[in-house]
Each structure stands twice: as C-alpha cells, then as structure tokens.
Amino acid sequence: MAEAPPIEEFLDRWDLEFVGRPVSDRPKYPGTGDVAFVRQGGDQLVLKTTPAGTDEERSGAVLAHWDGQGAVRVIRQGHGAVLIERAMPGNDLVDMVLNGGDEAATDILCDIMAKLKRPKPLRPHYRSISDWSRGFGRNRDKAVGVGVPAELIEAAQSVFMDLWVTQAIPILLHGDLQHYNVVRDAERGWLAIDPKGILGEPAYETGAMLRNPQDPDLCADPAIIERRARQICRRRGHAYDRVIGWCFSQWVLSVLWAIEDNLPYAPEWLTGPLAARELL
C-alpha cells in the first residue's frame, strides 16, 4: 500500500482554499485517506486523498460512474486524490437510528441502493466479491490465534462461496453502503459517499447496512437483523435467505479484516455474526 501525496499538495495544484476538517468521534480506520473541507470560488467542496492499494483508490471512478445519481458528484480526480461536492449540512444516518428512526433509515438506504443500481462499467478494472473472499483464508490463522473459532470462519466462508457461485448478474456496488456513508444535502437529499467499488450481485450490498451502526444494541440482535432484512427484501425484492447469508458471512469477514489491520480484537465482535447465524 503506497502513501498518498499530502493533502497540501492538491490544495496548491488545484487552487483550493483550505476550510477545515471533519469532526468525528470515530477513530480513523487504517489505510483511509486524509480529508479536508475546501473552497474553490463560491463552491464548498471536499478533498480526499486516495492511497494506492487501498479500497479507496478507485472511489473517484466509482462516483463518476454514478454521475451524481444517489451519490455525491465528482468535481475533479487525479492520481492520489479526488475532489467532490460537499453535502451540507452533511449529517449521516446514525443519529436517525439513535433517535428511534431505524426503519426510516433503512428505507433511505434502500432508496440509495435503487439509485446506484447501474450496470458495471467496461473500464476500469474493479475487484470482485470473490477477490474479497480471499480474506477468509489469508487471515484465518491470525484470527484463530486471537480467539475467533475456526468453525465459525469455515461456516462463514462456506456460506459466502455458495452465495457467490449462485449470484445474480454483478453490478458495480458501493461495497460499504451503510449509515456512516450516507449523508444529507439540503438541496439534493441523501447521498452516498466513500465507495469502495466492488463487482457483485445487488443483494451483496445489504450486508454492510445490516451490521451498522457499530453498536451491538442497535444491530447485533436476531430480532433486529430479521426485521431489517425483511424490510430490505420488501423494498428491493431480494431473497431473504440470500440477504441473511450475506449478512452473516460478511460480518465474519469484516472481523477478519479488522484483525488483519491490527485492531485490538474483542470477543464482543462476534455478537453480531452469531446473531445473524441464528437466522440461517
């Protein structure tokens, strides 16, 4: 993974005025780019670096593919950075869930899914969900070493691969469509940000929204998972067993990725995957 150029380099190169940085109580995930609020003339924009070799490297191309339909618009992109429109006020869906609006937030995520459902582009090359599945084998021993049951990993890998070989025609997915990555603009409504860009069937997209926000009391309960999954299936027409299967297998995979990124493992990380497994 290569380091992205410093954000100051693009301020100068693209004639941008620095305004500030986002304020968040969430720790920065390893490998994510630097972000700044900037101004160009009268336009309020967001500048983000996109380190090579990370999930964010092709985020500009993904956003350009959607062309502002359900997502923020790309203003400019270059090697190592992307300049996008700034959604204002920019609040995400987490507060809506915290204030008892989980069903409304799920509806909004379903609306965004519908807007982003476009055929995959001919170019550039994107990774597929089968590429992501390699995380099961790559991180198995390390995960078992810190306390993740080998049987749970094997079960999740089996479900993932069964769904992959029977999947519908792949499209270009966001790859991390969930409550933190959908923000509100006063004029354009709710918009997706920070796509990873992955090729897979539309039902795959539901996994991230079912395991977020990252609070076990909000999502890691069989009753909550089932209610949300059935709501998604009604809205988007997906098969319930596929949505639950993706939810379980991706949740385990996300645990393995976090361990790979050297985040301090906690046994509570398995509460969600185990709850989803009860519904299989």
Tell me the pLDDT tens digit for each residue of 223-266: 999 999 999 999 999 999 999 999 999 999 999 999 999 999 99
31 pLDDT band, cuts 50/70/90, is low
Query: Phi and psi dihedrals of 12, rounded to 5?
Result: -75, -45
Q: What is the pLDDT of residue 53?
A: 82
Whether 58 and 197 have beta carbons less than 8 Å apart is answered as: yes
Residue 76, strand partner residues: 83
For the whole model, what pTM was predicted? 0.94
What pLDDT does 28 receive? Answer: 66
> From CA 82, how far away is CA 63, in angstroms rounded?
10
The residue whose two tokens read 């988007």 is 236
Question: Cα separation of 137 and 272, whole Å?
Answer: 21
Confidence of residue 122 (pLDDT cuts 50, 70, 90): confident
3-state secondary structure of 33: coil
Per residue in 144-184, pLDDT tens? Answer: 999 999 999 999 999 999 999 999 999 999 999 999 999 99
CA nearest to 251, candidates 131, 136, 171:
136
Q: How many CB atoms lie within 10 A of CB 15?
A: 10
Instruction: Tell me how far apart the alpha carbons of residues 270 and 275 are, in angstroms, rounded to a whole number.
Output: 8
Structure tokens that stand for 99 in this block:
């204030």
Tokens of 45: 């924009």
